[in-house]
Amino acid sequence: MKEFWTTLASVMGVWAFFQSILHTVFPPELRFASLKLFHRFFNWFSAYCYYDITEIDGVNTNELYNAVQLYLSSSASITGNRLSLTRGLNSSAITFGLSNNDRLMDTYNGVTVLWEHIVTQRQAQTFSWRPLPEEKRGFTLRVKKKDKAVILGSYLDFVMEKAGEIRRNNQDRLLYTNSRGGSLDSRGHPWESVPFKHPSTFDTLAMDPAKKGEIMADLKDFANGEAFYQRTGRAWKRGYLLYGPPGTGKSSMIAAMANYLGYDIYDLELTEVHTNSELRKLLMKTSSKSIIVIEDIDCSINLTNRKKNSGSGTNSGARNNNNHNNTSNFDASVPGSGNGGEDGGNSITLSGLLNFTDGLWSCCGSERIFLFTTNHIEKLDPALLRSGRMDMHIFMSYCSFPALKILLKNYLGYNKGDLEKDLEEEFKQVMDKAEMTPADISEVLIKNRRDKERAVWELLEALKLRADKKSKEMMINATDLEVEEQEKRALENPKENGELQENCDKRGGDDDLENADQINDEKIN
């Protein structure tokens, strides 16, 4: 036993001796370097290279990590026994991803890569302005060295793009509005958002199918037109002006466009914006793939008469004096011209608005749609209507017969051929004369939606009544116009006036005689 302890002591002595020599000859720095050297040596002969994509990059969230996670969640080849399920904020879909230390092969342009999800426990809480998660997560991408160029060149961009697409498809649209009085929220953002769940789509929208098809094709061309805009040197944006009477579906069209493209909506309340620079800042804070809407542009603010109203100093003053006088004496067609783009520093101008939609500032970011709506296109400044400003003017008309068929299908389940021929003819005859909006028609259909036949009859009656009223109104208007014309002509030509008066007097005299005869007849009877 004694021998054993003596041997152990000498072995430990020798170990301590060698360790001190190792420390002297190979200090820790050198050991680390030699380890690295070993790694390099190993890598030199390895056919692969590895890329780490950590969830937190310093203290910021690594967008690439989130994108990879989303991208891999769409992969049909995920077959593990244990998958992680997530449902993001404002998302109505559940996505699944790789669990701890799972691996997945992916192929891109004939190149195969391996993704590994690595989760480790975070050792100690490093100092950070925000608490870091307890787990350290990341992806390791293994790529063959010969494929490095392809992967770094386009694969990661492809992953980012695909992830954006998945996010848009899974996530609810957001509806933003600019905060009251230009105030900023807790994140310093001038826009407030709520999930956008408007159910309007191009299928539910009642309008002429040919016109609808044209708009949808235009939107798709725009959304897929990155290469075209790049090639032609144009900013990747498009402007639409929706005009027509109230209740013809302008707001429904905006929602349908957003749902069709999967874009968010920024509903810009112009009366809450006080300066052109505020307007610019708002634009800078909008994301790409969005629709920026200014509803009722004709009454949002008096843009045309800004210079005249500058004395009043505030937008509200301008709003009260909303007489749409088109005699502004600065050239609104030239952004930033005339009054210098700012009006006393506290009000926005038409040139400011045009800069917002048209000028250099409209190009920060990409893929943006500007959408103006108005019930009174005739009140808009011609500068806003000039070609090139708004790429497409869309007239939202009263309900036509083809549009009615869509409403009958959506509300009552009527399909092609379900409506009797005679009824169809009757509808066709009154539709255009009645000038009823889709909103009015929807009301009638909703009221009777449990009794299809009654709904159709009531609608037909309502349309006939309206058509009758309209034709009477037209006759009265025509007579009024004729009298007005006669009076005008009489004023212009006094001689004719005398004859006219004479005729009237004569007619008046004849009428008197007739009346007298009538009274005599009555007396006799």
Q: Which residue ranges make up the site for ligand ATP (CB under 6 A)?
A: 204-207, 246-252, 375, 396, 438-439, 442
Taking CA 264 as the corner, what is the angle to CA 387 and CA 234, rounded to the nearest 5 degrees?
35
The residues pairing with 115 across neighbouring beta strands, listed in sequence order, are 104, 141
Report, in Å, the least distance between residue 254 CB and ligand ATP: 8
* Rounded-to-integer distance, Cα 522 and Cα 256, Å: 70
Q: Which is nearer to ligand ATP, 194 or 446 (CB)?
A: 446
Q: Which is nearer to ligand ATP, 80 or 246 (CB)?
A: 246
Report, in Å, the least distance between residue 396 CB and ligand ATP: 6
* Rounded-to-integer distance, Cα 357 and Cα 342, Å: 16
**CB of 141 within 8 A of CB of 115?**
yes
Q: Per residue, what are the HEC states of 5-45?
A: HHHHHHHHHHHHHHHHHHHHHCCHHHHHHHHHHHHHHHHHH
Q: Which is nearer to ligand ATP, 72 or 206 (CB)?
A: 206
Report, in Å, the least distance between residue 436 CB and ligand ATP: 11
**CB of 72 within 8 A of CB of 113?**
no
Report, in Å, the least distance between residue 440 CB and ligand ATP: 8
Q: Which is nearer to ligand ATP, 163 or 207 (CB)?
A: 207
Report, in Å, the least distance between residue 326 CB and ligand ATP: 22
Q: Which is nearer to ligand ATP, 178 or 252 (CB)?
A: 252
**CB of 264 within 8 A of CB of 291?**
yes
**CB of 401 within 8 A of CB of 459?**
no
Residue sitting closest to ligand ATP (CB)? 249
Q: Which is nearer to ligand ATP, 337 or 442 (CB)?
A: 442
Report, in Å, the least distance between residue 182 CB and ligand ATP: 25
**Secondary structure (DSSP) of 463-484:** HHHHHHHHHHHHHHHHHHHHHH
Report, in Å, the least distance between residue 250 CB and ligand ATP: 4
Give the single-character DSSP code of 293.
Answer: E
Query: Which ranges of 112-249 does DSSP label H, i.e. alpha helix?
Result: 148-150, 156-170, 209-223, 226-232
Contacts of 46 (CB under 8 A, 6+ apart): 145
Q: Which is nearer to ligand ATP, 204 or 497 (CB)?
A: 204
H/E segment holding residue 239: strand 237-243
Q: Which is nearer to ligand ATP, 297 or 396 (CB)?
A: 396
Report, in Å, the least distance between residue 446 CB and ligand ATP: 9
